[in-house]
Structure 1
Amino acid sequence: MAVDSFPAKARKISTNIGAHYVDNARILPWRSPPGSNLPDPYHVWLSEIMLQQTTVGAVKSYFDTFTQRWPTVQDLAGAKEADVLAAWAGLGYYARARNLYKCAVYVAETLNGIFPQKESELLKLPGVGAYTAAAIAAIAFGERAVVVDANIERLVARLFAIETPLPRGRTEIRAAMDAITPRHGAGDFAQACMDMGATICTSKNPKCDICPVQKQCAAFAGGNMEYFPVKPPKKDKPVRRARFFWIEQKGKVLLATRQPQGMLGGMRSLPDDGWAAGNDGHATPPMTGEWQVHDNVVQHSFTHFSLEVDLAVYRNEKIVTNNDDNIWWALDDIANAGLPTLYAKAVKWKLKEQK
């Protein structure tokens, strides 16, 4: 890929993508229409954190819930962390929720509720990485910043037929995106590229026949669009084993609060056996008694490993537990406990099995 070949091609790409966006921009609750006033930085930040490794379809309802319940960053900062984590339940990647809360508190208490405009300053906020800082700077404040998410990565890799496999290829992809990002309107352009990747330049079966930059696309010229971006061979995921414990009395089930650090930190859950990404759980119950074990009732996939879960049900009438982090939760209100998807799956299995 010759960087010297960018200027003329870059201008044509920028112009065509920008024009396409004016007529075809997706209507999303956190966006402003093309060419209009800049959106609320709080909405941009919130949506970008939620959208990390998560689809637009999954995020919309959570965004609505958060903005209705906590209309400003000060409102979010004044919430209880447990309530924020519970409202996030089901969206996954829960470290984002913890950092979201930390960032809200930092902005509200240290910055008087005002998000910084510069990319370099945004990078200092908890949970804000290079992509998110660039996206907020460009979309919320109109700064020229180079925004590269997964959709843009795919689009740009194809436009310039970037052969270097990921993750090393990201340096070249960013340089290419830098070359085609206009000096003014970088936020609209970034969102235009996101939309292109989400709706036209898709992973499988890209809609090249309606693509506004088909004539500028090196991958289309070579007839090998789906080859890009080049990815390293997939590694087999290790499979871990876990055991959850079901302790029920008088229409309530015993829940625990997970340790603040580590996976699903600070979330409510069923008591479990200390499983982790790097090891199986110990399968030892939290108290002595008769337990009926149901094997492999839940299979759940994380980014780097898969988890198979047994559910052990306590069979004795007498229940003795004095753990401070245990909570008795009414089963008819279990949907409002804010359980992560993994634990919600086990609850769903058990309640269905009881019928």
Structure 2
Amino acid sequence: MTNFPSIIRKWYQKNGRHLPWRETNDPYKIWISEIILQQTQVKQGLNYYQHFISKFPDAQALANASENQLLQQWQGLGYYSRARNLHLAAKTIVTEHNGLFPQTYKKILKLKGIGPYTAAAIASIAFGEPRPVVDGNVYRVLSRLFMAGIPIDRTEGKKYFEKRAWELLDHNNPGTHNQAMMELGALICRPASPLCRECPVLVFCKAAAQEKQTLFPVRSKKISRKKRWLHFLIISQNGQTVVQKRIENDIWKGLYQFPLIETKKYSSSDTIRKKLGKALSDGIIIEKTHQEKYLLTHQELDASFYNIVWPKNVVIPQTFNQLKNEWIKNENIQGLPFPQLIQKNLSKLIKP
């Protein structure tokens, strides 16, 4: 495969998509794009990237932002720990590196939330350091090229494919090479229905030669999802609604939600009313507005929303003024960072 690097480089230069983070050597912008695209398709991630860079154009701006400002920009991307890690890393860049992004793989790897893949991508693309990147697309390309049945989600598999990636790396053009490998996996060597006839390196592909390309890559684990039943209470009075900030080490940490009751199985409106007990005065109506399922990588959420409206002159029990609950004017609710599950339903839940 001595001419492999030059073949994919020429293919990439001719066929690669024009994306803003590919038209810069700014390590900050490359970093932001890599973190956004970890769990997001390019088509969706592009808009998020552009808005994010517009709001926080450099590490200093990101470091100076409040957590709420940052999480609001991150709404819909999920995995909110990534946003918090970006914040911490930006502060480190400002305080420990005088606002200048670290320029070597080893130093970049020390930043909060940056692993070997992201560090290699930044170091190779921004600074030309010879480091191979191995993301999901590259795992797929390598596993098919070498028809390697080693599971990519095991330690031995990660070591094997990293070694193969080093063997193929173009040390003179590591950044372009890495982007070409990722683009090949995204556009040609797709998970299903790969476009093998259009592949510039088909001649090297052992899996394609035996028409077994769809059998690779191999994984040892199957994703199992924990099921949770969430009951959100929309408690309103005098044009204000109760919200609370999630502070526990769970999904959506740092985001806002409405008061929540979690049950171990599906529960009816009557059951929720009984759980609230004396907190609900006689005559106060609890109305279930809608219910929907929401999938996270490792969790399946069954979410129900309940509308509870108190008359103007009826005192709301102290129960609902605990756990750092906040009363927010309805017209200001949209300005808070909510999980996408709640954010997409706000217009139905809250009336200004």
TM range (shorter): 0.7 to 0.9
- In the other structure, the counterpart of 1:257 is 245
1:270-306 deviation digits (Å, cap 9, x = unpaired): 221367xxx7799655981145253871211111120
Is 1:18 the counterpart of 2:18? The answer is no
Does the 8 Å CA contact 2:34/2:118 hold for their aligned counterparts?
A: yes
Structure 1's 315 and 329: CA in aligned 2 closer, same or farther, altered over 3 A?
closer
Deviates more, 1:212-221 or 1:258-267: 258-267
Equivalent position amino acid for 1:104 in 2: A
- In the other structure, the counterpart of 1:212 is 200
Provide the rounded CA distance (Å) in 1 between the counterparts of 2:182 and 2:285: 51
Structure 1's 192 and 226: CA in aligned 2 closer, same or farther, altered over 3 A?
same
1:174-217 deviation digits (Å, cap 9, x = unpaired): 11111101111111111111111111111111111111001111
Structure 1's 270 and 101: CA in aligned 2 closer, same or farther, altered over 3 A?
same
Equivalent position amino acid for 1:189 in 2: H
Is 1:183 the counterpart of 2:171? The answer is yes
Deviates more, 1:296-305 or 1:180-189: 296-305
Choose from 178, 182, 187 the match for 1:199.
Answer: 187
Choose from 177, 187, 212 the match for 1:224.
Answer: 212
Deviates more, 1:316-325 or 1:180-189: 316-325
Equivalent position amino acid for 2:127 in 1: F
Does the 8 Å CA contact 1:135/1:147 hold for their aligned counterparts?
A: yes
Provide the rounded CA distance (Å) in 1 between the counterparts of 2:266 and 2:162: 41
Gaps of 5+ in 1: 1-8, 33-37
Equivalent position amino acid for 1:239 in 2: K
Q: What's the offset of the Cα at 1:102?
A: 0.6
Is 1:300 the counterpart of 2:288? The answer is no
Gaps of 5+ in 2: none
Equivalent position amino acid for 2:136 in 1: A
SS in 1 for 2:218: coil
Provide the rounded CA distance (Å) in 2 between the counterparts of 1:175 and 1:291: 64
Provide the rounded CA distance (Å) in 1 between the counterparts of 2:276 and 2:22: 49
Number of corresponding residues: 335
1:1-355 matches, within 5 Å, as 9=1, 11-32=2-23, 39-168=25-154, 169-232=157-220, 234-259=222-247, 261-273=249-261, 284-285=275-276, 288-289=279-280, 290=284, 292=286, 294=288, 297-317=291-311, 318=314, 319-320=316-317, 321-323=320-322, 325-332=324-331, 334-347=333-346, 350=349
Structure 1's 326 and 158: CA in aligned 2 closer, same or farther, altered over 3 A?
same
1:221-272 deviation digits (Å, cap 9, x = unpaired): 0101111001225254232111111112344432211106332111122221
Q: What percent identity do the matched residue pairs reach?
A: 34
Does the 8 Å CA contact 1:17/1:213 hold for their aligned counterparts?
A: yes
Does the 8 Å CA contact 1:90/1:340 hold for their aligned counterparts?
A: yes
Does the 8 Å CA contact 1:291/1:312 hold for their aligned counterparts?
A: no
Structural RMSD (CA): 2.4
Provide the rounded CA distance (Å) in 2 between the counterparts of 1:29 and 1:144: 22
Instruction: State TM-score, norm by structure 2.
Output: 0.87
Structure 1's 119 and 59: CA in aligned 2 closer, same or farther, altered over 3 A?
same
Does the 8 Å CA contact 1:118/1:143 hold for their aligned counterparts?
A: yes
Does the 8 Å CA contact 1:162/1:172 hold for their aligned counterparts?
A: no
SS in 1 for 2:185: helix
SS in 2 for 1:240: strand
Provide the rounded CA distance (Å) in 2 between the counterparts of 1:287 and 1:68: 49
Deviates more, 1:166-175 or 1:279-288: 279-288
SS in 1 for 2:321: coil
SS in 2 for 1:273: strand
Provide the rounded CA distance (Å) in 2 between the counterparts of 1:260 and 1:17: 47
Equivalent position amino acid for 1:96 in 2: R
Q: What's the offset of the Cα at 1:125?
A: 0.5
Q: What's the offset of the Cα at 1:45?
A: 0.9
1:98-141 deviation digits (Å, cap 9, x = unpaired): 10111111111111111111111111101111111111111111
